[in-house]
Amino acid sequence: MQPSTNSLFDLTGQVAIVTGSSRGIGRAIAERLAEHGARVVISSRKLDACEAVVQAIGARHGAGRAIAVAANLSSKEALQGLVDRTVQQWGRVDVLVCNAASNPYYGPMGGISDEQFRKILDNNVISNHWLIQMCLPQMIERNAGSIVIVSSIGGLRGSTTIGAYNVSKAADFQLARNLAHEIGPHGVRINCIAPGLVRTDFARALWENPETLERATRTVPLRRIGEPDEIAGAAVFLASRASSFMTGQAVVCDGGATI
């Protein structure tokens, strides 16, 4: 069923890039954006994984609703190619969802190598900055656009095991706040989503062990971890005119973990 053109959440005619969308939260976001009418660019490092998502979206919503563009976060040239290919295909970018991230280290800050720390900051913060700046000129020209950064509740609190990752996610919150001031006068909005623990391959080390999972959910009001699709609704909200007076903010989706 196509969304109603009167719906606050209608994205018909909008073009959305979603990074890290071959699986997990990114895939759920891309599928829900397509469900609400958007044309979606599926992107991750592996083209075959992206094409599988494109096929799934096509089967549900019709051919031509999604394309696959492989891009490595660490390559500025690859990210520019992602934007260029999107514009070539559909002429514009209305929605950018910066979801892809990496965390190559699990342990105390004292044990992280410089290379690992730099990779976390490069992939989780600087690549977002690059991609946003690549999409902004056309958004500013149209006086419209929505940018969504998938951060984490890790950016709101400390950790003895994923501290460097949390540093990068806190930086994403500030990136959104700074840019909100810069691009708000041009009609472009930017917001973050802060998921709690979600059942994805990316977070497997935090939930796969039953003892670790029990500790992680013991004090969470909903007493469970989230599922990828439970984050997607926040992205649809932030991409659509339902959130038209919202910028520089973070939507926390964590089952109540941070309260």
Q: Which of 9, 165, 173, 237 is catalytic?
A: 165
Q: Is 165 annotated as catalytic?
A: yes
Diameter over CA atoms, the chain: 54
Alpha helices (H) along 143-225: 163-183, 204-207, 210-217
Q: Where does 122-197 have alpha helices with state H?
A: 127-142, 163-183
Angle between helices 127-142 and 163-183 (to 10 degrees): 20
Query: Which candidate, 38, 165, 162, places its Cα nearest to that of 94?
Result: 38
How far apart CA 105 and CA 117 sit, in angstroms, is 8
Nearest CA among 141, 120, 153 for reference residue 220: 153
Query: Tokens standing for 17?
Result: 């890039």
Active site residues: 165
